[in-house]
Amino acid sequence: MDTIFALASAQGKAGVAVIRLSGSHAHSAAASLTGSPLPFRGMRVRSLYATDGARLDDGLVLTFQAPASFTGEEVAELQIHGSTASVNAVMRCLSDMDGLRLAEPGEFTRRALENGKMDLTQVEGLADLIDAETEAQRKQAQTILAGDLGVLAERWRRDLIRAASLLEAVIDFADEDVPTDVTPEVKSLVTDVMADLQREADGVQIAERIRTGFEVAIVGLPNAGKSTLLNALAGREAAITSEYAGTTRDVIEVRMDLAGLPVTLLDTAGLRETEDHVESLGIELARKRADSADLRVFLTDDPKDLGVQIMNGDIQVLPKSDLRDPSEGGISGKTGQGIDQLISQISDVLSNRTTSSGIATRERHRVALIKSRESLSSAMAVLESGPDLYDIAAEELRTAIRALETLVGRIGVEDLLDEIFSSFCLGK
């Protein structure tokens, strides 16, 4: 297998740049650059030289011996000065060496997966950690990267293997007297796993929202102050404001961090009856986005005026409090009145919803969990028919086990790998 290399730190000028190598020639390539032997595992301060003896840079060289490395292979890291010229010079020297090539996106992590250093859920957790923008996303990604979902899946798999082995023991000794009825233990094991699978599957939707972001739609009549409120929340002029009704035609999106949660605020067109074709398209889009949003903030005195039903968890506030009697309360994007209270309300509602999230975070996870649970449900139904059908029940258990193995990437996920690793940078 080729030895690969890539810049593992960000492109551009920096104090330090990290160039990573992995493969059987990683140590020898690093030693060739330094002109001196390197330990199998350790760190040394060395000068780096081109093949003609020209000095390239000074840096810290770290070496890791297989299998105790990120990829499970020989790994070397060159920490050099982060100038574009220095990085390019070292990368040119590496590309000229026999047996070395530039890594493909995510290839280091893919090798870690193939060498058993990570399971597929951990790979996804690493991708999420790299993309994390908020504290909630960081914590969720760290949980997945730590292997918690893989540990759960392995425990479920072990319990189901135990259940299947009990049934198969009865099948193998069908002509003999088996002193123990295995059905109660099998049912207990399967029931516990089914409950865990359902709980995790139910929490995927919220967990996925933490990963991708919640949508909060601001809804109201034309000129209710929606765009002004959005600008106040965003801290910038994200939307055009005007005294003329119907200014907002499209949905304006602003991504924010609220209490550590990723939130996209949506400024929608004012809801009203209109004969303006373009405005009517904007209103129809506004209704669709409001319907699909995780939370809606209604700027209105009476929701009935909007023709939209307020759902449990939605927030209603009185618009343009700067034009009202102070005793009425309300909110104003113009003066800032009520802004802090609204942010607190939105944060509280969304934070309360996250309490139901599980460890599984993706639709792929949910599908695997549901498939496994459906097979277990079938096995439980067959068990009621007695030992004569234990072979069918055992096969259903094996099907459930295979679904869990797809969850962690042991089988049947080759078609997913290219898509997953395409989102990684070259040095990861």
Backbone angles phi, psi at 15, to 5 degrees: -65, -40
Separation between Cα atoms, residue 365 and residue 347, nearest integer Å: 27
The pLDDT of residue 193: 96
- What is the pLDDT confidence band of residue 246, given thresholds at 50, 70 and 90? very low
Going by C-alpha positions, the residue among 335, 78, 100 that lies closest to residue 232 is 335
Q: CB atoms < 10 A from the CB of 252, how many?
A: 20
Q: Above 80 in pLDDT, residue 415? A: no
The pLDDT tens digits of the residues spanning 271-290 come to: 656 566 666 676 777 778 88
SS3 354: helix
Summarize pLDDT for 292-342 with one digit per residue, the tens: 889 988 888 877 767 677 778 889 888 888 777 776 778 888 888 888 888
Q: Per-residue pLDDT averaged across 67-83, rounded?
A: 96
Q: Are 362 and 208 in contact (CB under 8 A)?
A: yes
In the block, which residue shows the tokens 């995780």?
294
Computed over every residue of the chain, the mean pLDDT equals 86
